[in-house]
Structure 1
Amino acid sequence: MAHRNWPTAGVKYAAIAVIVVASAFFYFQKSSMADGQAMILPVDPTPLVAVTKGGERSFSIEVADTEAEREAGLMFRQDMASDHGMLFVFEETREVNFWMKNTPMPLDLVFVGQNGRIRAIKQGEPFSEAVITPGEPVRFVLELKAGTAASDGIVAGDLLRHPAIGTAPGPGVPPADKGDAPNIDSD
């Protein structure tokens, strides 16, 4: 009769159990659109700066740069500080469409070109399924608490500065190294 090496098998099964439990823990800790919970991304250590005719305005931001993060966005978020926002980073300059179906707070949607220049600012109404689009291709969208753009003097043509904007490659342009100057090409 063959004897199994029970101590080795026990360690193997214990390791598998730990992996399964840890995976389940992290899976259920992550908020998702399906559970009706707001997604909260880490605040980027570098503030986003809007350069306006009246001076510079700084915002702490969350960066949504994956498809899942962009899909969830600020859905289910009840409130947000006036100096906070979410920057949506797309892989390429393209037509984008937003809606507010599961978003209870009104927003300013700031549509931004490859070069960091604001192309359009639109308002988003809570829970609306109306499509919000700038009517032209953009590379970034900054969502702010409704009224923030107007109160801070942010208008189309103003410049947004942030590493996610400055290092985003344009058509045919390789990504910049972290130490390079911002990529301020025209769109």
Structure 2
Amino acid sequence: MQISKTLLRTLLALLFFITSSLVFAQVNVGLPTIELKTGIYRIQAELADTPKAREVGLMNRTNMPANSGMLFVFEQKAGHCFWMNNTKIPLSIAFIADDGRIVNIDEMQAETTNNHCPTAAVRYALEMNKQWFSERVIVPGSVISGLPKR
């Protein structure tokens, strides 16, 4: 059986399209963004405010711009814990109370399954590149403004 070059190219293109679609389905492409502020710093944060967006988070990404992050927004205040399974870049996470005050900050290693949890029930969590908060002396008690109202 001989396959024409045109048919082979079409099949290869289709295979590439299907494979690419599966890879991109694991990444939160096209999430809305929100501008947050803390002190003199502005943060461009992707908004993970749906169950699927929160589930995927920053998985499979290989980099993140310096003042960018991901804001996780939950419907209910609770002890929402995070882990780094399938997350390729090390991150810092700030757990944030409804009034914008940071409750606690944790450093997270890439590709680990350790739990990182807030010390109090929260509705918001902000992931940034590792040590982003400490390098800017942003500590528990600091305020993040611009959070979406729930």
TM class by shorter chain equals 0.7 to 0.9
Please give the alpha-carbon distance, in whole angstroms, between the structure 2 residues aligned to 1:41 and 1:62: 9
User: Percent identical across equivalent pairs?
Assistant: 30
Q: Counterpart in 1 of 2:28? A: 39
Specify the SS of the correspondent of 1:142. Answer: strand
The residue identity in structure 2 corresponding to 1:50 is: T
Consecutive unaligned residues in structure 1, runs of 5 or more: 1-24, 169-187
Structure-2 residue corresponding to 1:171: none
CA 1:114–1:146: 2 relative to 1, 3 Å = same
Letter in 1 for 2:24: S
1:108-157 Cα distance to aligned partner (Å, 9 max, x none):
00100111110000011110011111232111000000011011111100
Which structure 2 segments of 5+ residues have no match?
1-17
Change (3 A) 1:81 1:137: same
Partner of 2:122: 138
Higher RCO (CA 8 Å, separation ≥ 6 residues): 2
Distance 1:30 1:114, change over 3 A: farther
Q: How far apart, in 2, do the equivalents of 1:163 and 1:112 lie? A: 10
Tell me the distance in 2 between the aligned counterparts of 1:49 and 1:29.
Answer: 35
Q: Residue 118 of structure 1 contacts residue 158 of structure 1 at CA under 8 Å; is this kept in 2?
A: yes
What's the offset of the Cα at 1:43? Answer: 4.9
The 3 A distance-change label for structure 1 pair 128 and 163 is closer
- State which structure, 1 or 2, has the greater radius of gyration over its C-alpha atoms: 1
* Structure 2 Cα separation of the partners of residues 30 and 66 of structure 1: 20
TM-score by length of 2: 0.81
Q: Find the residue that maps to 1:47 and give its secondary structure.
A: strand
2:111 maps to what in 1? 127
Q: Does 1:48 align with 2:32?
A: no
- The 3 A distance-change label for structure 1 pair 93 and 159 is same
The Cα shift of 1:31 comes to 2.9
* Aligned position for 2:46: 62
How far apart in 2 are the matches of 1:47 and 1:139? 18
- Distance of 2:29 and 2:139 partners within structure 1: 27
